[in-house]
Structure 1
Amino acid sequence: MLLSVVCGAASVLLAAATAMAHSVSEQAQQRMLIGGFADAAWIGAEHMLTGYDHLLFLLGVMLFLTRFSQIVVFITAFTAGHTITLLFATLAGITANPYLVDAVIALTVTYKAIENMDLFRRWFRRPAPNLLFMVFVFGLIHGFGLSTRLQQMTLAKDPELVTKIIAFNVGVEFGQIAALALMTAVVKVWRTSTAFPAITRVTNGALIAASAVLLAVQVHGYVTSSQDVTAVSERATYPS
């Protein structure tokens, strides 16, 4: 029980500490612009492994699954979803405010924790929507989040645009596999404990708390960035 509390608290603290850092650094942008396939793949893997919103959602999914075949099916659905929007949105130049997209991604973590705790049945007197379908839909949302970050790298005129998008996605998949391997091992150990029901309750509670922190940070980032844009616009309109 103590271990689960510690893990839950760590999840919240990590999410809070890194939420603001989950963006594209200038160094990464330069590597993406002048580097090759390996550089783009490395940046994709790095982005996934530091993307605590994506990792928290995957942990929520892993808590629900009990068999390897289930893991393959659900993770394939999630991967298909985020691959579709990552490739299509980036190539088509479809984007949105990254803070708002990441805020929606934070809500997907909340949704998964609520679904794990069977709160749909308790609160709404009805079962949750088909989970496989929802995981695919959430994959689309997470992929759009990845695309908005990738599009911050100003690759539109890069002659190797398609290659770099594919490389970035390959890196994302390798990062996801590494994260899933660790999560699978941890959850497998948890399942051997008689305290597993309590561990899942605490972990799902921690997921909700962490997603609330992520949501608050992203909303704050959106409001702050909007105010900055307004201030710049006003200075341009009314020069001193």
Structure 2
Amino acid sequence: MSFLRQVFVTLFLVLAGVTSASAHALEPGYLQMTQLTPETWQVFWRKPDVTGAPMKITARLPETCSPAEGDAPKFDGSAWVSSWLAECPSGIAGATISIPGLEAQRTDVLLRMQSLDLPLTTIRLTPNEIAYTVPETLTGGEVFASYLGLGFEHILEGWDHLLFVFALLVLIRDFRRLVGAITAFTIAHSITLALASMGLIQVPGPPVESIIALSIVFLAIEILKHEQGQYRLSERYPWVVSFSFGLLHGLGFAGALSDIGLPYGEIPTALLAFNVGVELGQLTFVVAVLAFYAVVRAALPAVGRQFRTAHTPGNIFMGYAIGGVATFWLVERVSGF
């Protein structure tokens, strides 16, 4: 029993840790460049805070621009920001924008460029790829690849969305119903993501984020009330529950996508790519969880049964851990209205 207790405590710490997981390590940097005239760019640079100091990364414009770097950033309460006007007499097409220092970090930088004659461009720079060469024109393939990566990254960093999917995996024990629930969740959030991104529906972000947390609390309660051999309403018709809450989760995805922006003239491509990226990330998570559980069940059958049998210590712990984290999010988000 002591072994199980250690397993439960470890899992609880992992779940609880997502509420205060190092935003410094995961929070992306943000570089926005807006072309004002053929030769002038407005630059806004935001880099994460790391224990009270700016992360050691720098936004560097092409050498043809002056200045290529901004002044020392100032702390705005959550990150370090700076802005400046850059004169680029010979333009920046074919030139390189880089983030020196990013190769030593564990985060990404989102580069957003709005020029006078090209669609809005959003590029994700990573520790493995710290520079971006500005093309003469932006192809549909480049837009798709960029937004595919953004969607994949967003879902894997969206702890609340992943916890909702994880709760479905714990609650629904019938594989057919599980497939139906995840499919319904996918369809629902794809619908609202598309509608909200195109401006057809508008819902304030804070209430949406709060209800997303509440949806996880609901699933945690259902886990705790499960009786062996009996299906609750949410287990008999999980696709109804998943579809309903999926509509709200889609609005959450749309909020993130609105911060990124959609490129003019390539909106359908970018929207499709982002959604496909979200689905690939979600599928990756589901496969990883199921594979991990299969390994545990094969190596430690007694431990595996703890998490799939009603009212066992493992199942009870799982319900309370999921509900505790979600309740924390709910209180935090409501208090932030």
Calculate the TM-score normalised by the size of structure 2: 0.57
SS of equivalent to 1:28:
strand
Pick from 39, 55, 66 the counterpart of residue 162 of structure 2.
Answer: 55
Letter in 1 for 2:20: A
**1:10 aligns to 2:10 (yes or no):** no
**1:204 aligns to 2:292 (yes or no):** no
CA contact (8 A) 1:90 1:147 kept: yes
Shift of 1:64: 1.9
SS of equivalent to 2:121:
helix
Letter in 2 for 1:206: A
Shift of 1:90: 1.2
Pick from 117, 121, 125 the counterpart of residue 33 of structure 1.
Answer: 121
* Structure 2 match to 1:112: 219
* Structure 2 match to 1:101: 208
**Greater CA deviation, 134-143 or 16-25?**
16-25
Distance 1:102 1:21, change over 3 A: farther
Shift of 1:92: 2.9
* Structure 2 match to 1:160: 266
Shift of 1:128: 4.3
CA contact (8 A) 2:189 2:246 kept: yes
Shift of 1:97: 2.7
CA contact (8 A) 1:85 1:143 kept: yes
SS of equivalent to 2:260:
coil
CA contact (8 A) 2:193 2:253 kept: yes
CA contact (8 A) 1:22 1:47 kept: no
**Greater CA deviation, 205-214 or 68-77?**
68-77
Pick from 200, 211, 215 the counterpart of residue 330 of structure 2.
Answer: 215
Shift of 1:65: 2.6
Q: Percent identity?
A: 30
* Structure 2 match to 1:86: 193
Distance 1:212 1:23, change over 3 A: farther
In structure 2, list runs of 5 or more residues that go unmatched: 31-108, 114-119, 124-142
Q: Deviations over 1:179-238 (max 9, x none)?
A: 10111123335553243332121111111111122223323443xxxxxxxxxxxxxxxx
- How many Å separate the matches in 1 of 2:250 and 2:160? 12
- How many Å separate the matches in 1 of 2:274 and 2:22? 21
Distance 1:64 1:19, change over 3 A: farther
Letter in 2 for 1:70: R
Q: Deviations over 1:21-60 (max 9, x none)?
A: 9988624362883442111111111110010101111111
- More contact order relative to length (CA 8 Å, sep ≥ 6): 1
Structure whose residues are more often strand by fraction: 2
User: Aligned pair count?
Assistant: 216
- How many Å separate the matches in 2 of 1:106 and 1:72? 22
CA contact (8 A) 1:91 1:162 kept: no
* Structure 1 match to 2:151: 44
Pick from 75, 81, 86 the counterpart of residue 182 of structure 2.
Answer: 75
Structure whose residues are more often helix by fraction: 1
SS of equivalent to 2:216:
helix
Letter in 2 for 1:82: H
* Structure 1 match to 2:50: none
Q: Which has the larger radius of gyration?
A: 2
- How many Å separate the matches in 1 of 2:168 and 2:287? 13
**Greater CA deviation, 84-93 or 128-137?**
128-137
Shift of 1:71: 2.6
